[in-house]
Structure 1
Amino acid sequence: MSGIAGFVGRETPAALRIRVVEDMVRTDAMQRRGPDSRGTVVADERVVLGNTRLRVADIHNSEADMPMQSADGMLTLTFNGEIYNHLDLRRLCPDYHFRTKSDTESLLAIYQRHGLDMLSMLEGMFAFCLHDRSARRTLLAVDPTGQKPLYYTLGDGDELYFASDIETILRIPHLNFSWDREGLAQAAGIMFVFGPHTHIREIKKLEAGCCLVVEQGERPRHRRYHKIVIGDELQQDVTAITERIRDAVAAGCTRCFDLEVPYAYLLSGGIDSSSVVARARSQGLELHTYAIGFPESGLRAGAIMHNEFSYSRLVAEAFGTEHREIEVTSQIYCEAMDRWWSLCCEPNGAPEAVCLFLLLEQIAADGYRVAFCGSGPDEVFDGYSHGHRLKITPSRLVAGAYFDYFNAVGDIDLGQLMLEVDARAAFISAVQPYLDLYAHDTQDSQQLTCLLDYHGECVVSEYRQIDMASMAHSIEVRIPLADQQVIQSAFSFLPRLKHYEDSEKWIFKQAMAPWLPSAISSRKKIGFPVPQMVYASPEFEARMESSLEPDSGLDKLGLFDMAYLRRAWRERGSRGYDIFYRLHGMDVIARRHSSYLSPKDPTAYQ
């Protein structure tokens, strides 16, 4: 796992940009991503690549550090992630002389043999930049599941800068940036910024399954090299379907269980994390599991459960794990929230991210370098019942209905909150290219909703919060159920089987049932709601009041009607607290990032 950064120029010589990239890899964010080594390489006369590395493979070999070059110096690579099938790729390159055991070098070798076609051969999570000196070509790519981030911006003269972290780009001293009001409206309205956009107009994110190709002297070309294939939507053979899902999960787990550093497992007691633990036990692996939740004391009678300790304990006992529980109070949550938002490089409005941040902090403190989690199936197998709710919605109306149903704004009127920007329209505009991508493959609204859940809530929100929370503590998180075969299996049968017999994620539960205690495989999904007592606590109220002050970061964005927002906060009811959480987070980010948006000296570093 690493932090990557670099410069690809069209006219500007690399010699004028070496210091820029050297400074980029020295930022705190990049150092947390890779505390074990740091390097910068001039790959060509107009290309500089940088890297910081967290050593989890071939850990005692300094030649595995990056940026890495081929023996002849023609290829230079900065890489973030893990290629799980890299040993298989090595066997396809018998003539390549390997100096390391790392997957990074496997990537160099397979590119040398197959060129750009190698993208479809990679299994894992990755974001990388590879420069081919002989072809005068630079390739930037993100894996099909989008687990690792890659942000980029185009400066004057088509200078391209990229990094694993937005703030690393914002710090470039000669580039000017501005707020993306539509991106901010999306983040306020529905928790994240869909598609290639961010909250900064000039900075884009390279989407899952996409790449940028920069040929010498030409503008970058964007192309999609992967999309989910929609299979037989009439398939109803439950035995065949569940066998395929089960085989895909087993293979996905096996692919990423190969490790040479200490590791642990996130265990909520849900079916996904429990399935990962079950597969690990079947392979005789050590099992150190962690769960987190709020105390039940202090909650009103009949309140939603805010921890799943009874389920995680059941799984831990069934598979004989060394299990640890972390209990969170309002004070602990709010103090961790401060640290979480101070490290976030973009708005991410999921309140449970703070608990993930705390959980990974403890895992890292206990000496583990890798953690496994069960994310992924909820979105593609309709675990949130979003697809079920929209299944009779005409496909042409899915984007708008999705926003209306799932924005979690409570009693807030977004039209009054943001008078000049339509959050719903911004979301629909960002979503439409994805609906167009699958327009010839399916018109089933439940299927389309699951695709939006995957490309949005899963990739842009959940995977991004996992990446930011894990890298904040210099720990790698592997997601076995994000395997491409698992994702593909979710779109190869009758969509109604995802929500069947009044059960969300029904077909996935049927597939996992042979591995799990019946109390786990048959349970209803609870999720991880943050209790109202947190938002009603003096600790959270003080923080929100600060965000509502004149001249706060939120106020200076010029996007929100602050008088309306203050009134809505004073008159808040018992629902819709999530929007206050994400607006407070936006305030913290705005305060921090606004300093980078003032006009800069275009001659810096010259």
Structure 2
Amino acid sequence: MCGIAGFFRSSAPVADVSVLKQMGEVIRHRGPDAGGEYLDEYVGLAHRRLSIIDLSSQGNQPMISADGRLVIVFNGEIYNFLTLRAELERAGVVFRTKTDTEVILALYQQQGVACLEKLNGMFAFALWDTVEKTLFLARDRVGKKPLYYYHAGGDRLAFASEIKSLLQLPGIAREVEPTALADYLKYLYVPAPKTIYRKIFKLPPAHYLVLRPGGEPRISEYWDVDFSTGTAFSPAEAEDALLELLQDSTSCRMIADVPLGAFLSGGVDSSAVVGLMAKVSREAVRTCTIGFADKRHDESRFAREVADLFTTNHSEYIARENLPETVALMPKFFDEPFADSSAVPTYHVSRLARQAVTVALAGDGGDESFGGYGKYSIELKEDLARRKLPRFLLAALNGCFQGFAHPLARKVRSLTGSALLEPARAFYRTNTFIEDDILTELLAQPVRNACSGYDPGEHTVRYWDKMRGADHVTSMLYTDLKT
């Protein structure tokens, strides 16, 4: 990964190259190999580089186009950049580097915003057009790469890969957004576009932002997943097509000029990725696993079986140190409240992997893509009850089991309670961790007042409603993809 940062000079009139350097320095961990800055009368750009493709200094950023018109800072990887490069070369483009960064520059120079339609990859980048005086920010389709921005009205805007970088700007107040606190207590993270801070936002996945001096930022969506087109595949044909897609998506992520490996948990998703990597790799795949001394949470034995199956170069680390100390480190990296416990093993396996590789593939996203979470099957049962049982019966069952502590009574209350709700509201209940009345009790009176009339469920409901008319599974998968 790399790190990017920058600002419109109106957002911090006193900011200079030293501020840009500091914005980059606090995210040095994202890009320890090189750093650079660009500053003119309108904008400042900073970059921290982790070298993956074309390790020479020619790949350093900010990168300026051959004609001097465009300047870019880019974090990510464009998987189809070789195909795009070949197309551009046939159109007469001459490249100075072997990087995917330069391909983005050339593609934007030819197609403008429409270049996003051709990019297959994970990315967040900022591109400054010195002629049109236009700042263009863009984020990949599912938001694998982070991109935050600060907006204080008008063209007073700054951006960065991490919030801590934005906080280096003079004059930015660290004020908590009360509704974001409510969101966090419900979802255990702060859903986009908000962050925990006022005036600091996440650019949503599959969106871009355009800003010109004296104007307001214009944010637009450039892509959305489309479930409307059906397929005529037989099950066997679907299996073959899926395997081909998985193999292609894995292979294109293995293009790197540095050592590459995989996180292996022993579960279906990461094991499938390792198997697909082994199929095309010319050498043993490097795999890394994190285990725990507490056998109730340790799955390293399953990872070992998969490593043996595919004859990988396997490394294993058993986390024995004080795990609360690891938890205490997390705010340094996340910059805002985040309560996903998987961050702890991910931190340790990343440290282990970095000893041997620079790039690591993982099985993240498999449950969202293939409906692997247990909540989906529970949701289907609730929806069946909603459609098949009369409301009076659901209400009666729910009432009969109130006040009982037995696990079966709790399950009946949960199922019937959700079945009595509209599907979108029921899924909101599924995806959150406390009931709304408990949230109200938790909030101090000033925060409660600031959140008066606010509905955290809107984050779920707005995406569910976009799938109105779709089947229940499609609605669940789409909503989880977008939130």
Scaled by the length of structure 2, what TM-score is found?
Answer: 0.85
User: For 2:155 and 2:479, how far apart are their aligned partners in 1?
Assistant: 32
- Tell whether 2:77 aligns with 1:88: no
After TM superposition, the structure 1 = structure 2 runs for residues 375-386 of structure 1, keeping only pairs within 5 Å, are 375-386=364-375
Report the more deviating stretch, 62-71 or 182-191. 182-191
DSSP-derived class of the 1:324 partner: strand
Query: Could you give the per-residue CA deviations for residues 298-333 of structure 1, whole angstroms, max 9, x where no partner exists?
Result: xxxxxxx4222232122111110122222234x432
User: For 1:192 and 1:20, how far apart are their aligned partners in 2?
Assistant: 30
2:358 to 361, 366, 369: 369
Give the letter aligned to residue 430 of structure 1.
H
**Gap change, CA 1:138 and 1:374, over 3 Å in 2:** same
2:52 to 49, 56, 68: 56
DSSP-derived class of the 2:339 partner: coil
The answer (yes or no) to whether the contact 1:400–1:424 under 8 Å persists in 2 is no
Shift of 1:226: 0.7
**Gap change, CA 1:12 and 1:412, over 3 Å in 2:** closer
- Tell whether 2:402 aligns with 1:402: no
- Tell whether 2:332 aligns with 1:342: yes
Shift of 1:171: 2.6
Q: Which residue of 2 aligns with 1:128?
A: 125
Give the aligned CA root-mean-square deviation in angstroms.
Answer: 2.6
- Say which structure, 1 or 2, has more relative contact order (CA 8 Å, 6+ apart): 1
Give the letter aligned to residue 380 of structure 1.
S
After TM superposition, the structure 1 = structure 2 runs for residues 126-525 of structure 1, keeping only pairs within 5 Å, are 126-155=123-152, 157-232=154-229, 237-284=234-281, 285-296=283-294, 305-329=296-320, 331-364=321-354, 366-391=355-380, 392=383, 397-409=422-434, 413-418=438-443, 420-421=447-448, 426-439=455-468, 442-456=469-483
The answer (yes or no) to whether the contact 2:154–2:217 under 8 Å persists in 1 is no
User: For 1:308 and 1:353, how far apart are their aligned partners in 2?
Assistant: 16
Give the letter aligned to residue 47 of structure 1.
V
Shift of 1:338: 1.9
- Tell whether 2:36 aligns with 1:45: no
User: For 1:414 and 1:451, how far apart are their aligned partners in 2?
Assistant: 26
Query: Could you give the per-residue CA deviations for residues 403-451 of structure 1, whole angstroms, max 9, x where no partner exists?
Result: 3224345999333222654799643122333234444xx4323221112
User: For 2:11 and 2:293, how far apart are their aligned partners in 1?
Assistant: 58
DSSP-derived class of the 1:92 partner: helix
The answer (yes or no) to whether the contact 2:80–2:119 under 8 Å persists in 1 is yes
Q: Which residue of 1 aligns with 2:24?
A: 25
- Structure 1, gaps ≥5 residues long: 298-304, 457-606
Shift of 1:179: 0.6
After TM superposition, the structure 1 = structure 2 runs for residues 98-117 of structure 1, keeping only pairs within 5 Å, are 98-117=95-114
The answer (yes or no) to whether the contact 2:154–2:214 under 8 Å persists in 1 is no
The answer (yes or no) to whether the contact 1:387–1:447 under 8 Å persists in 2 is no
User: For 2:157 and 2:43, how far apart are their aligned partners in 1?
Assistant: 10
The answer (yes or no) to whether the contact 2:19–2:168 under 8 Å persists in 1 is no
DSSP-derived class of the 2:457 partner: helix
User: For 1:74 and 1:255, how far apart are their aligned partners in 2?
Assistant: 31
Q: Which residue of 2 aligns with 1:591?
A: none
User: For 2:357 and 2:325, how far apart are their aligned partners in 1?
Assistant: 23
**Gap change, CA 1:347 and 1:88, over 3 Å in 2:** same
User: For 1:48 and 1:288, how far apart are their aligned partners in 2?
Assistant: 39
**Gap change, CA 1:423 and 1:450, over 3 Å in 2:** farther
User: For 2:366 and 2:329, how far apart are their aligned partners in 1?
Assistant: 29
Shift of 1:126: 0.3
Give the letter aligned to residue 126 of structure 1.
F
Shift of 1:110: 0.9
The answer (yes or no) to whether the contact 2:464–2:476 under 8 Å persists in 1 is no
Task: Tell me how many residue pairs correspond in the alignment.
Answer: 440
The answer (yes or no) to whether the contact 2:2–2:47 under 8 Å persists in 1 is yes
**Gap change, CA 1:106 and 1:269, over 3 Å in 2:** same
Query: Could you give the per-residue CA deviations for residues 329-360 of structure 1, whole angstroms, max 9, x where no partner exists?
Result: 4x432222222233321222111211110111
Give the letter aligned to residue 85 of structure 1.
N
Give the letter aligned to residue 273 of structure 2.
V
**Gap change, CA 1:235 and 1:388, over 3 Å in 2:** farther
DSSP-derived class of the 1:403 partner: helix
The answer (yes or no) to whether the contact 1:161–1:169 under 8 Å persists in 2 is yes
Scaled by the length of structure 1, what TM-score is found?
Answer: 0.68
Shift of 1:157: 4.7
The answer (yes or no) to whether the contact 1:5–1:162 under 8 Å persists in 2 is yes
DSSP-derived class of the 2:208 partner: strand
User: For 1:410 and 1:327, how far apart are their aligned partners in 2?
Assistant: 37
**Gap change, CA 1:438 and 1:139, over 3 Å in 2:** farther
Give the letter aligned to residue 211 of structure 1.
Y
DSSP-derived class of the 1:290 partner: strand
DSSP-derived class of the 1:97 partner: coil
Give the letter aligned to residue 55 of structure 1.
S
**Gap change, CA 1:16 and 1:343, over 3 Å in 2:** closer
DSSP-derived class of the 1:446 partner: helix
**Gap change, CA 1:251 and 1:18, over 3 Å in 2:** same
User: For 2:233 and 2:377, how far apart are their aligned partners in 1?
Assistant: 17
Query: Could you give the per-residue CA deviations for residues 49-92 of structure 1, whole angstroms, max 9, x where no partner exists?
Result: 11111111111x11210000001110000000001111111112
Q: Which residue of 1 aligns with 2:3?
A: 3
- Structure 2, gaps ≥5 residues long: 388-418
Q: Which residue of 1 aligns with 2:32?
A: 35
User: For 1:172 and 1:15, how far apart are their aligned partners in 2?
Assistant: 9
Shift of 1:167: 1.5
Query: Could you give the per-residue CA deviations for residues 158-208 of structure 1, whole angstroms, max 9, x where no partner exists?
Result: 311000011111232212241111111221222111221111121000011
**Gap change, CA 1:411 and 1:179, over 3 Å in 2:** closer
User: For 1:260 and 1:2, how far apart are their aligned partners in 2?
Assistant: 15
The answer (yes or no) to whether the contact 1:136–1:215 under 8 Å persists in 2 is yes
